[in-house]
């Protein structure tokens, strides 16, 4: 009989924590999962899932307009924000139930509330102490707002999913993927939308050609992008707000949304009681097996601030469970992880950007194509797509694929498999394309760009 109440006590019931708990319990471990907010974490409740549903909703305005070129007379349209919120909430509740059943069916215990570390093998919850052979911290991240005058008037992405009414004029602050996505969502739903970013171009870290191409497409649609601009204050003005800019000008709006970054959610977890070390960004430091400097304490997912993507947290939870309770090493490969920004249009990417590839591999060959997708030859929207391949010249291996266009994520997923398998440009060239699709462009780009 074990000397501990649990073999594994998990603090955080998001994607990573639930996956680790479910797998560990299915392997025979006695598992408890403590979650103070909602099962499924950020992704299910205030992240990937509702954001994608909102993105779908925001696309319909363009779809209605595109239909005319194909002979459809759509007629007068009207958008009802409360209907979207209610339907979204119903779907999230369904997913919460699925996550709960995944844990309970596997045999894990769910504790609803806040848990804290008391020492390296003890967790306190609801006034009681529980001992555990191992403790896993999987609390994720939380939006961060800079401390400027009037910052309390701004919302974050968390609150955007529960607004009582759709604002007419929106200012989105930030240059990361969350800011870009919400700028497209608000604009697509009919809001007058301004996105402000303090740098020269948003989406730092993505391929430069794609960043510029997406900015051009968003501006063409009518989103007011203001780069090299920052807020100095937010003032309440009657029913709205006045956003003061470092240029000395201002913008009047009905809603200010900050999306300027997220921080690891480590406050009030008791990490200091047993000396768990944080890095310079305030995230938990872990080794290759997700162990912190305290041998019995582990961490996965966004709380480690490494690759902050839900599928990565899921993979880490799986790898940890196999390592701890099956004594098998199934390490997560962090190279060629695909991702998509659900902007309007989408930006999909896998592998190295051109700049990263030149720095790591030296000589590279670039293939790039910008074109009007077949749909938009009749829609009249003027929307274009961009596809780009980065090839290591020495090996001919495709090491980067980037796309801006409709359903980029659906396309990039397939390329990620090919690139994971080491596909060369020659193999791409020998692959028959599906005609007529935008995706066939991946296998028909023959001439490298200068």
What are the residue numbers of the active site? 435
Q: Which of 388, 361, 408, 396 is nearest to 449 (CA)?
A: 388
Phi-psi region of 290 (alpha: psi -120 to 50; beta: other; left: phi over 0): left
Non-local CB neighbours of 315 within 8 Å, separated by 6+ positions: 332
Residue 149 DSSP class: T
Q: Please, what is the Cα angle at 406 between 405 and 409, to 5 degrees?
A: 90
Asked whether the beta carbons of 317 and 20 are under 8 A apart, the reply is: yes
CA 134 to chain centre: 29
Integer Cα distance of 57 and 347 in angstroms: 18
Please, which residues bridge with residue 370 across strands? Answer: 386
Burial 38-57 (b: 16+ CB within 10 A, else e): bbbbbbbbbbbbbbebbbeb
Residue 162 DSSP class: T
Integer Cα distance of 384 and 397 in angstroms: 27
> Can you spell out the DSSP letters for 20-35?
HHHHHHHTT--EEEEE
Q: Which of 421, 291, 343, 356 is nearest to 52 (CA)?
A: 343
Q: Residue 24's CB: how many other CB atoms inside 10 A?
A: 28
Locate all alpha helices (DSSP H) within 161-207, ordered by sequence. 177-188
> Which H/E stretch holds residue 261?
none
Q: Residue 313's CB: how many other CB atoms inside 10 A?
A: 31
> Given the structure tokens 């290591």, which residue do they identify?
392
Integer Cα distance of 319 and 334 in angstroms: 13
Please, which residues bridge with residue 10 across strands? Answer: 33, 136
Q: Which of 283, 261, 280 is nearest to 199 (CA)?
A: 261
Report helix, strand or coil for 168: coil
Integer Cα distance of 152 and 307 in angstroms: 29
Q: Residue 300's CB: how many other CB atoms inside 10 A?
A: 32
């Amino acid at each position: 009989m074990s000397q501990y109440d649990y073999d594994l006590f998990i603090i955080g019931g998001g994607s990573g924590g639930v996956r680790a708990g479910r797998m560990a319990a299915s392997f025979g471990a006695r598992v408890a999962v403590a979650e103070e907010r909602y099962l499924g974490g950020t992704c299910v409740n205030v992240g990937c899932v509702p954001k994608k549903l909102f993105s779908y909703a925001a696309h319909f305005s363009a779809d209605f307009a595109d239909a005319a070129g194909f002979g459809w007379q759509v007629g007068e349209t009207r958008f009802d924000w409360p209907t979207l919120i209610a339907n979204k909430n119903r779907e999230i509740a369904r997913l919460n139930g699925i996550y709960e059943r995944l844990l309970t069916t596997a045999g894990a215990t769910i504790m609803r509330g806040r848990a804290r570390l008391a020492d390296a093998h003890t967790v306190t919850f609801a006034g009681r102490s529980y001992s555990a052979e191992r403790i896993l911290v999987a609390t994720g991240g939380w939006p961060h707002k800079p401390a400027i005058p009037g910052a309390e008037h701004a919302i974050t992405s968390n609150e955007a999913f529960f607004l009582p009414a759709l604002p007419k004029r929106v200012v989105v602050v930030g240059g990361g993927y969350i800011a870009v996505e919400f700028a497209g969502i608000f604009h697509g739903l009919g809001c007058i939308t301004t996105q402000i970013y303090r740098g020269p171009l948003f989406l730092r870290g993505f391929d430069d050609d794609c960043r510029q191409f997406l900015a051009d497409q968003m501006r063409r649609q009518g989103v007011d992008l203001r780069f090299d601009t920052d807020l100095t204050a937010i003032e309440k003005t009657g029913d709205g707000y006045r956003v003061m800019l470092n240029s000395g000008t201002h913008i009047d709006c009905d809603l200010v949304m900050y999306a300027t970054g997220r921080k690891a959610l480590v406050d009030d977890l008791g990490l200091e009681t047993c000396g768990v070390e944080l890095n310079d960004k305030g995230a938990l430091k872990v080794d290759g097996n997700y162990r912190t400097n305290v041998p019995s304490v582990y961490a996965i997912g966004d709380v480690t601030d490494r690759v902050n993507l839900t599928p990565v947290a899921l993979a880490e939870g799986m790898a940890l469970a196999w390592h701890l309770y099956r004594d098998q090493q199934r390490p997560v490969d962090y190279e060629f992880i695909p991702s998509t920004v659900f902007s309007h249009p989408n930006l999909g990417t896998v592998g190295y950007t051109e700049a990263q590839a030149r720095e790591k591999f030296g000589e590279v060959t670039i293939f790039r194509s910008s074109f009007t997708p077949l749909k938009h030859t009749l829609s009249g929207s003027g929307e274009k797509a961009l596809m780009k391949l980065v090839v290591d010249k020495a090996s001919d291996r495709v090491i980067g694929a980037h796309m801006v266009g409709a359903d980029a994520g659906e396309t990039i997923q397939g390329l990620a498999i090919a690139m994971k398998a080491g596909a060369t440009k020659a193999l791409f060239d020998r692959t028959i394309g599906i005609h007529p699709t935008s995706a066939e462009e991946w296998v028909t780009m023959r001439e490298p760009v200068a």
